[in-house]
A and B are shown apart, each in its own frame.
Chain A
Amino acid sequence: GAVVSQHPSWVICKSGTSVKIECRSLDFQATTMFWYRQFPKQSLMLMATSNEGSKATYEQGVEKDKFLINHASLTLSTLTVTSAHPEDSSFYICSARASDQPQHFGDGTRLSIL
């Protein structure tokens, strides 16, 4: 149980392109979904917290106009990296959580901007 699916797992695109990443909780309804970013050899850094039907809460230093988050249902959240540039290249990981349950993570999306 508690499976979180993230898609795509890997994307390469040109600078200036917008990229959408999907995160789905497959067998449970997530109270909240979270988006993290991870650089090589570093730990996960929280970018934003997303509750279904409401605006996402972004961490300090994360541009909300750059990283658009939509949480349309209790099982789906999307992260759109708008006008991506090489410095946005990273490993993006989503997480979903039901009330009183541990966070469960997707397998991440490797984003490479050329």
Chain B
Amino acid sequence: LAKTTQPISMDSYEGQEVNITCSHNNIATNDYITWYQQFPSQGPRFIIQGYKTKVTNEVASLFIPADRKSSTLSLPRVSLSDTAVYYCLVGPTDTGRRALTFGSGTRLQVQP
């Protein structure tokens, strides 16, 4: 499975837009990019998934360039409750029988 590289930590303030970039240079043709959010003592929560270009849902946007070797999670107007660890994962959805492998994640700290 493709290895991912993310910044270890990021700081932001309430109301700002936060962009977290993930590198996945050896992404395979059938790999999707999935982002999860994890709060302390909770399981990861699915945020967004994409294959190419741009995907947007009610909580975030995911930007994927044409070469797919990186992706950027964009969180608009963050609040204190967005303080969490964000994981970028790359892998095939195919039959669903293979687990996604977690990297170190990005610890986002939002301040007032």
Contact = CB atoms under 8 A, between A and B. Distances in A.
- Size category of the A interface is 20 to 34
A101 B96 contact: yes
Given A91-B41, A106-B43, A108-B42, A32 B96 contact: yes
Q: Main SS of chain B's interface residues?
A: loop
Interface stretch (A11-19, A43-51, A63-71): A43-51
A28 to B, nearest CB: 11
Interface of B: 34, 36, 41-46, 49, 87, 93-105
Interface of A: 2, 4, 6, 31-32, 34, 36, 43-46, 49, 51, 91, 93-95, 97-108, 110
Given A99-B94, A100-B94, 4 more contacts: A43-B105, A44-B44, A101-B93, A107-B43
